[in-house]
Amino acid sequence: MRVKNFREAHTMKKIPLAISALAALALIVIFAAIPFYIGTQVEKELAGKIYELKDYGLALVVTSIRGGVRSSDVEFDLKIYHPQAAALAPNPARDEKGAYLTLKGKGVIHHGPVAFGWPIITPFVAGGEAGLRLPGDVNPVLMGIVQHFFGDRPPITISARMGLGDTLRFGLSVPDFNGRLPGNAPGTIQWGGLSAWLEMAKDGNSFSMGSEAPGIKIVGSRGDILATDIRLSGKSAKAGDSLWLGGLTFSIGSMAGRQGKENFQLEDFKYTVGLSENGGNLEIALKIAMKKGQGRDFSINPSGLEMKLKGINRALFEDMLKKFLQRNKTVADLSRLLPMMAETWRSYRLKFRNMPPRLELTGLNLDTNHGKLRIEGAIEPPWMDPFRRPSPSYMAAGTKAHLSFKLSKSLVAEVFERHLRQKLRALARNRGLTLDKSVEERMIKNAIDLQMGSVLQQKYLVEQGDHYTIDWTLEQGVFKVNGEVQTALLREFLRRLGKN
């Protein structure tokens, strides 16, 4: 009885082991079969296919594909139907769509649960990468430059990834290089490479992008420049049939340069621009910031500029944009872009006449080694045709503006001193005179005292402790400085504006 129970118990223990073994075997079969099946479907789907992006003048032709278990080798031609691109080849190829330049691509497509060697987090990931090369019949000078820097390496590598999530991810990279400048130009160039990516929703209604380059250094006979940590990032979402809202940021970690005796340096420079909606109107916001800047005889501490362009009627702007895209199905020929925009604008300019935008200067902060400057205010220009130059008198009569300035006394003194020193030295040169340094300093000091007294007396500047303030207003053609009407100043400004 005991033997029988022992055998039954031993048999019962084997059942879970057998089930586990069958499950493991099934997983192995699945993991081997699914990538192979995907590979055969990829090969069947892509072989001989042509994919066209007509709006961008591009066509991708798959010339060869060889399927495998976990990956497939693919070769393709990327045709660029663009006049400037086709001109790179002495005798560009042509078809029914026109002349084109062909970039040769060769790469690999990964498919299956462990594509790219990643752990199985999102199963059945598919993607790939390919290197692009210029054709052999391209302009010899351009081909020589590419071979000079990249040798046998493809100058551009593209990649793509698709999973079970809601996004598609595309990548682009340019390899690093280091060598002498091409041709007979003396000097060297070091390039740290470039990597960029674009991630977009599968429904095509939103995307984000970014790129980064470690740096570039160019050393030449006339000077040199070094820039590090160069980045570009942004995101956007579709807000209508033709309208996208979002923002873009460009930044440089540091930049330094030299030209002769002139030197400059920047640190943490950032430029941001964005398009948003507020109450049925569009707003364009601009922000520039810099941690440090330095030249031969000046330095800039943390400074920045913020401004917004408000009051752009969204419905009217979107309708105009839609009409522009309907009339012009392709923007491949960039030389035609501006005339096409002007043609579309002509049918809408009267509709915008009564809805002029408002420029709001949130703040300009400039902190230098000589002092500080801050400007804030708003400008409401009259209706303008961007493809026609308005007269200065029309601008003055129709503009409504209010700007406030706050300036350190040391900064004002420095500006006056530089201006007077330049005028005095130019006058001395014209008359063939050589000024003694002590005489020059005394003349400049006396001139500054006279001019500052005159400026304060005429209320162009208002003294407040360690700084000056200025308040400008312009409305219905009347220009006021600190509450005083200054017709002569406005007239002189309009004269110079019209002359230039």
**β-bridge mates for residue 247, sequence order:** 235, 274
Rounded CA-CA distance 379/301 in Å is 27
CA-closest candidate to residue 380, choices 363, 403, 346: 403
Spatial contact of 235 and 247, defined as CB atoms under 8 Å apart: yes
Here the tokens at position 434 are 């050589």
Rounded CA-CA distance 149/142 in Å is 11
Spatial contact of 109 and 74, defined as CB atoms under 8 Å apart: yes
Residues sharing a CB contact under 8 Å with residue 146, sequence separation 6 or more, in sequence order:
134, 155
Spatial contact of 133 and 103, defined as CB atoms under 8 Å apart: yes
pLDDT at residue 116 in the model = 40
Task: Give the mean model confidence (pLDDT) for residues 301-316.
Answer: 88
pLDDT at residue 118 in the model = 37
pLDDT at residue 268 in the model = 95
Per-residue confidence band for 193, with pLDDT thresholds at 50, 70 and 90: very high
Task: Give the mean model confidence (pLDDT) for residues 160-168.
Answer: 70
Per-residue confidence band for 106, with pLDDT thresholds at 50, 70 and 90: confident
Spatial contact of 400 and 380, defined as CB atoms under 8 Å apart: yes
Out of 123-127, 204-208, 267-271, 272-276, least confident range: 123-127
> What is the residue type of 185?
A
CA-closest candidate to residue 377, choices 300, 306, 279: 306
- How many other C-beta atoms are found inside a 10 Å radius of the C-beta of residue 74? 22
Q: Is the pLDDT of residue 181 over 90?
A: no
Rounded (10°) CA dihedral 308, 313, 314, 317: -100
pLDDT digits (tens, 9 = 90+) for 338-377: 777 777 777 777 777 766 778 888 888 989 888 999 999 9
pLDDT at residue 45 in the model = 56
pLDDT at residue 334 in the model = 55
Q: What b/e sequence results for 313-334 when a residue is b if at least 16 CB atoms lie within 10 Å of its CB, and e otherwise?
A: bbeebbbbbeebeeebeeebee
Greatest mean pLDDT range, 40-49, 273-282, 427-436: 273-282
Rounded CA-CA distance 313/279 in Å is 10
pLDDT at residue 226 in the model = 93
CA-closest candidate to residue 234, choices 211, 252, 202: 211
Higher per-residue confidence, 124 vs 419: 419
DSSP code, position 43: H
pLDDT at residue 164 in the model = 57
Distance of CA 327 to the CA centre of its chain: 27
pLDDT at residue 3 in the model = 46
Q: Is the pLDDT of residue 117 over 50?
A: no
Spatial contact of 398 and 478, defined as CB atoms under 8 Å apart: no
Long-range contacts at 132-135 (CB < 8 A, ≥ 24 apart): 132/78, 132/103, 132/104, 132/105, 132/156, 132/157, 132/158, 133/103, 133/104, 133/105, 133/106, 134/103, 134/104, 135/89, 135/101, 135/102, 135/103, 135/104
Rounded CA-CA distance 477/373 in Å is 27
> What is the residue type of 339?
P
pLDDT digits (tens, 9 = 90+) for 315-339: 888 888 887 777 665 544 556 667 7
Per-residue confidence band for 175, with pLDDT thresholds at 50, 70 and 90: very high
Residues sharing a CB contact under 8 Å with residue 187, sequence separation 6 or more, in sequence order:
180, 181, 218, 219, 220, 221, 224
State what percent of residues in the chain have pLDDT above 70.
76
Task: Give the mean model confidence (pLDDT) for residues 302-324.
Answer: 86
Rounded CA-CA distance 434/68 in Å is 85
DSSP code, position 415: H
Task: Give the mean model confidence (pLDDT) for residues 80-90.
Answer: 69
Please count the CA atoms within 13 angstroms of the CA of 206 that sit on its side-chain side: 7
- What mean pLDDT, rounded, does the chain reach? 79
List the Cα angle 212/213/219 in 5-degree steps: 160
pLDDT at residue 41 in the model = 56
Please count the CA atoms within 13 angstroms of the CA of 214 that sit on its side-chain side: 9
pLDDT at residue 468 in the model = 94
Spatial contact of 209 and 199, defined as CB atoms under 8 Å apart: yes
DSSP code, position 349: T
Task: Give the mean model confidence (pLDDT) for residues 111-115.
Answer: 51
Spatial contact of 37 and 15, defined as CB atoms under 8 Å apart: no
Spatial contact of 227 and 251, defined as CB atoms under 8 Å apart: no
Count of residues in the chain:
500
71-80 vs 93-95, strand pairing mode: unpaired
Rounded (10°) CA dihedral 411, 414, 418, 420: 110
DSSP letters for 92-152: -EEETTEEEEEEEEEEEEEEETTGGG--SSSSSEEEEEEEEE--TTS-HHHHHHHHHHHTT
**β-bridge mates for residue 301, sequence order:** none
CA-closest candidate to residue 227, choices 254, 200, 267: 254
- How many other C-beta atoms are found inside a 10 Å radius of the C-beta of residue 352? 19
DSSP code, position 55: G
| C-alpha distance across the termini of the chain, in Å | 115
Greatest mean pLDDT range, 210-219, 380-389, 410-419, 425-434: 210-219
